[in-house]
Structure 1
Amino acid sequence: MAIELLNREVIPETNQAPASAPVSGDVFGRIGTLETRLARSEREIDAAQAVRYRVFVEEMHATLSPDAMRRRRDVDAFDAICDHLLVVDNAIEGDIEDQIVGTYRLLRQEVALANNGFYSASEFDIEPLLARHPDKQFMELGRSCVLPDYRTKRTVELLWQGNWAYSLKHGMNAMFGCASFPGVSPEEHAMALSFLHHTVSTKGDWAVSALPELYRPMDLMPMEDVNTRKALSLLPPLIKGYLRLGAMVGDGAVIDHAFNTTDVLIVLPIASISDRYISHFGADAGRFAS
């Protein structure tokens, strides 16, 4: 699942994925006192898990394992194999635990396949998707969250600058991951889910579906009954932002009772990201790096 935090205009379509390029040091971007980079230590990962706990449990009422609830950390087995993208506010006095205001969890295909696979595979049947693209490298985005006071355009820009720079650095060809609607009743999101199903479903080589035993239909309304303007307004900001990049949505939703969400799978081939997005962040991921 992922907190819905993205709400900015980005883009549709280009024909080639940009070539891999180095970034400046280990900092992917800076805007004012904020910077985005990967976690450098177990201590910083622990701090990111504490931020996730504050958002997912205290704000969104997720239910974690007894140990995680006792420790007040959102933690699972995937944390050990993922890279943890951070947004840090250097203007905050104190230790790093106090300075981390946002995070994303990143998992490259080669790392996933050498360990426990992808987190999304617990909800969606992604193996056929990977098998149809043996020449491509995928990365999974997950556990995205930002503290309430920092849910601003510049924080989101830095998170995407970090994702973009990381994908270029590691030669990734596509991103995917779960994105969430609040609550566990898909019917409450009938218009938005139907809009996604009818307009941006994955097709052909990019087709992917929810696991059969978890599958919940998204085509809850015929397209002629869907008011496009209203449907767009009902989309969580993160999903709306992904669509502006050129993302597709897999077939079927999944109920995540632990996180109190209805999940869909976002699939974003990097070749689908438009030149305008690339020029905004820099073809070499360097616009905000220094």
Structure 2
Amino acid sequence: MDILNRGRYRASRAETPDELAQAQRLRALAFSGDAGGVDADGFDGRCDHILVRDQDSGALVGCYRLMLLPDGAAIDQSYSAQFYDLSALKAFKSPMLELGRFCTHPDYLDPEIVRVAWGAMTRIVDGQGVRLLFGCSSFTGTDANAHRDAFALLRARHLAPDPWHIGVKAAEVVPLPDAPVPHDAMRHIPPLLRTYLAMGGWVSDHAVIDRHMNTLHVFTGVEISAIPEARKRLLRAVAG
């Protein structure tokens, strides 16, 4: 089912096992560089999978998965709940949407792919009355020192508000350092997380070491009500 058509690209929901398998293969390529591999887990069957295709060739150029939760009482069903104590979010009384496995094809560098992906997500958020978008934002590798500047920036400026404090659950975690923030720290923030932060997003006070995915990740939340009006207008302009 198409969600958004814009120029060269269209976003749709995966509706068949083959379409899901295509997304899993793209994820393996994007995350591990494995052209013949499959990235799959037990959460795939609980999620909607959004596919972004080149309308001319039909090639799959981007994808992500979404899990809609009716409110915070269902937060333990989320992928993120494996890694974080999300007890505080159980008090959230409105629909929530978990975003995961967001990736684009490494051979397609057109920024319009990401814009279409976000435009489709905006339509879903508005259509479902979602009030909180959340997920795990990843940094490559498991060496926290390699991301010290980025982590210092997150701790200094973007920690979760006290009512939504994210607790420690995973066995291997790294506290975000209370350290000076270099002037160029933002350039060390991954692009997806940078987008979240531009929307008023916030993060956990620690990163989880995920050796299976060879990443460090921070829990990330964006309250829809906190997104700056100018940013909302941009997103809705893409969503049409």
* Common topology (TM > 0.5): yes
3-state SS, counterpart of residue 49 of structure 1: helix
- Mapping of 1:33-182 within 5 angstroms? 33-58=8-33, 72-92=37-57, 99-110=59-70, 117-129=77-89, 131-133=90-92, 135-182=93-140
Matching residue within 145, 165, 168 for 1:207: 165
Structure 1's consecutive aligned runs of 4 or more residues displaced over 4 angstroms after TM superposition are 111-116, 286-289
Asked if the contact 1:81–1:115 (Cα under 8 Å) also holds between the matched residues in 2, the reply is no
Residue 173 of structure 2 is aligned to residue 197 of structure 1: no
Q: Deviations over 1:41-71 (max 9, x none)?
A: 2211111111111112226xxxxxxxxx9x8
Matching residue within 143, 148, 155 for 1:185: 143
Residue 44 of structure 2 is aligned to residue 30 of structure 1: no
Deviation at 1:174, TM superposition (A): 0.3
3-state SS, counterpart of residue 173 of structure 2: coil
Q: Deviations over 1:96-115 (max 9, x none)?
A: xxx21110110011499779
Asked if the contact 1:210–1:253 (Cα under 8 Å) also holds between the matched residues in 2, the reply is no
Deviation at 1:212, TM superposition (A): 5.6
Asked if the contact 2:98–2:134 (Cα under 8 Å) also holds between the matched residues in 1, the reply is yes
Higher strand share: 2
Counterparts of 1:58 and 1:182, CA distance in 2: 13
Q: Decide whether aligned partners of structure 1 residues 246 and 111 sit closer, same or farther in structure 2, where only a CA change above 3 A counts.
A: closer
Point out where structure 2 has 5 or more consecutive residues left out of the alignment. Answer: none
Q: CA RMSD in A?
A: 2.3
The equivalent of 1:253 in structure 2 is 207
Q: Deviations over 1:131-153 (max 9, x none)?
A: 221x2221100001100232332
Counting aligned pairs with the same residue, the percent is: 29
> What TM-score does the superposition give when structure 2 sets the normalisation length?
0.91
Point out where structure 1 has 5 or more consecutive residues left out of the alignment. Answer: 1-25, 60-68, 94-98
Asked if the contact 1:250–1:264 (Cα under 8 Å) also holds between the matched residues in 2, the reply is yes
3-state SS, counterpart of residue 175 of structure 1: strand
Deviation at 1:273, TM superposition (A): 1.1
Give the number of aligned pairs.
240
Residue 195 of structure 2 is aligned to residue 241 of structure 1: yes
| Structure having greater relative contact order (Cα 8 Å, sep ≥ 6) | 1
Counterparts of 1:84 and 1:217, CA distance in 2: 32
Asked if the contact 2:25–2:37 (Cα under 8 Å) also holds between the matched residues in 1, the reply is yes
Asked if the contact 2:28–2:38 (Cα under 8 Å) also holds between the matched residues in 1, the reply is yes
Deviation at 1:250, TM superposition (A): 1.1
Asked if the contact 1:81–1:112 (Cα under 8 Å) also holds between the matched residues in 2, the reply is no
Q: Decide whether aligned partners of structure 1 residues 112 and 144 sit closer, same or farther in structure 2, where only a CA change above 3 A counts.
A: farther
Asked if the contact 1:28–1:161 (Cα under 8 Å) also holds between the matched residues in 2, the reply is no
Deviation at 1:218, TM superposition (A): 0.8
Q: Decide whether aligned partners of structure 1 residues 204 and 288 sit closer, same or farther in structure 2, where only a CA change above 3 A counts.
A: closer
Q: Quick one: which amino acid aligns to residue 149 of structure 1?
A: D
Counterparts of 2:170 and 2:27, CA distance in 1: 29
Counterparts of 1:288 and 1:29, CA distance in 2: 7
Residue 235 of structure 2 is aligned to residue 277 of structure 1: no
Q: Decide whether aligned partners of structure 1 residues 48 and 112 sit closer, same or farther in structure 2, where only a CA change above 3 A counts.
A: farther
